[in-house]
Amino acid sequence: MGDLPYPNNHAKAGSRKGNRLTMNDVAALAKVSPSTVSLFLRNPSAVSAKRAERIQATINETGYTINRLAGALAGAHNRAVGVIVPSLINAFFSETLQAMQEIFEARGYQLLISNSDYDTKREIELLRTHLSWSPAALVLTGYPHPDARPMLAEAGIPIAQMWELGGQPFHLQVGFFHEKVGAALAEHVYAQGYRAFTYIGSRMHVDLRAKKRADGFCAWLTQKGYEIDVIALEDQTTTITMANLFEQIHLNDNVPRVLCFSNDILAISALFEAHRLGISVPNSLGIAGFGDLPLSQFSFPSLTTVKPYPKDIGRIVATRLITWIETGTLPTEPETIDLGFELIVRESTALNLTSQAPST
């Protein structure tokens, strides 16, 4: 399909000619040519001090603002960078976005952010929309749908994929292997002495990365000969579910159980539920999460979790992209940067230790 049709019921909106102040106006007022103004704006030192001053003065007086739209069209590259994330609400992506934006903005790039809501169809549409703004680069989360590859390949701009490694990268891939997260966690809880395992993931039917973490967890333990209870929460109703969850769990001190959650929010809810029920964590039950929220180190007991590097992902993506944009080059070989993750062992899985000890 082509582009979407939108109603064009915007009759008024002033006449054709907006009364916007243009570069020509500024040039006329400053008694220089438009080219000189343009040049001044891009590189002030290339203009004689006298005229520079005049131009600056009129800009100040008139409150002139350059029209980037026209500039972008005129053949300079567009200083906009498109970013598509699955969710704006997710704290991980927010951190990455913030980090990216700091760097991009410092170099004069504007971010066009969209969220796909974990929906592949939406993502493809968004790709089209983004491309229609002819961005200088595009940042995607994970893999794009195969159908979208040709479109992206034709765009001729650097494309970064973040938060997940694997598949066929375009130009740059920055992230980590989510299966390894699951495996690392499995290895840890096994080493601690837990012998009954429950993995609770939310929205795993759409959040493929959460799914991969679960898979990695199960794979490691299956190989050891254990069965894992996997509980998939359909939506964000952490809520009732946590009480239900604890009802389903059979605690047995001879075969200590651990609950691994696909994010720290769930894990912390579980911690509270344990408090409510008087279940001792980590001795009667282990609990672990993913994400290392600011809160997680201050919970009681403090939460064992896995910490990705959302800010670094953003920083690296931004830096690389800017290099390619400004040199006008595209890497011949796709670049893959594995940032890994950190398993943060805290009290909530410290089965072998004295869990009562206050942290210092």
Tokens found for residue 248? 């389903």
CB of 164 vs a second copy, minimal distance in Å: 21
Q: Is 107 in the site for DNA (CB under 7 A)?
A: no
CB of 156 vs a second copy, minimal distance in Å: 8
Q: Is 44 in the site for DNA (CB under 7 A)?
A: no
C-alpha closest to that of 324 among 115, 107, 119, 126: 107
Q: Which partner in DNA, a second copy, none is near 278 (CB below 5 to 8 A by kind)? A: none
Residue with tokens 């992230």: 175
Q: Is 151 in the site for DNA (CB under 7 A)?
A: no
Q: Is 20 in the site for DNA (CB under 7 A)?
A: yes
Q: Using CB under 7 A, pick the residue from 50, 247, 332, 354 that binds DNA.
A: 50
For residues 60-89, which are near DNA according to CB under 7 A? 66-67, 70-71, 73-76
Q: Which partner in a second copy, DNA, none is near 57 (CB below 5 to 8 A by kind)? A: none
CB of 335 vs DNA, minimal distance in Å: 27
CB of 186 vs a second copy, minimal distance in Å: 26
Question: By CB under 7 A, how many residues form the interface with DNA?
Answer: 31
Tokens found for residue 331? 């890497």
Q: Is 278 in the site for DNA (CB under 7 A)?
A: no
CB of 175 vs a second copy, minimal distance in Å: 19
C-alpha closest to that of 207 among 118, 142, 141, 126: 118
CB of 58 vs DNA, minimal distance in Å: 13
Give Dmax over CA atoms of the chain in angstroms. Answer: 89
Q: Which partner in DNA, a second copy, none is near 229 (CB below 5 to 8 A by kind)? A: none
Sorted by sequence, the CB contacts under 8 Å of residue 168 that are 6+ apart come out as 334
Q: Which residues bind DNA (CB under 7 A)?
A: 8, 15-18, 20, 22-24, 32-36, 38-39, 41-42, 46-48, 50-51, 66-67, 70-71, 73-76
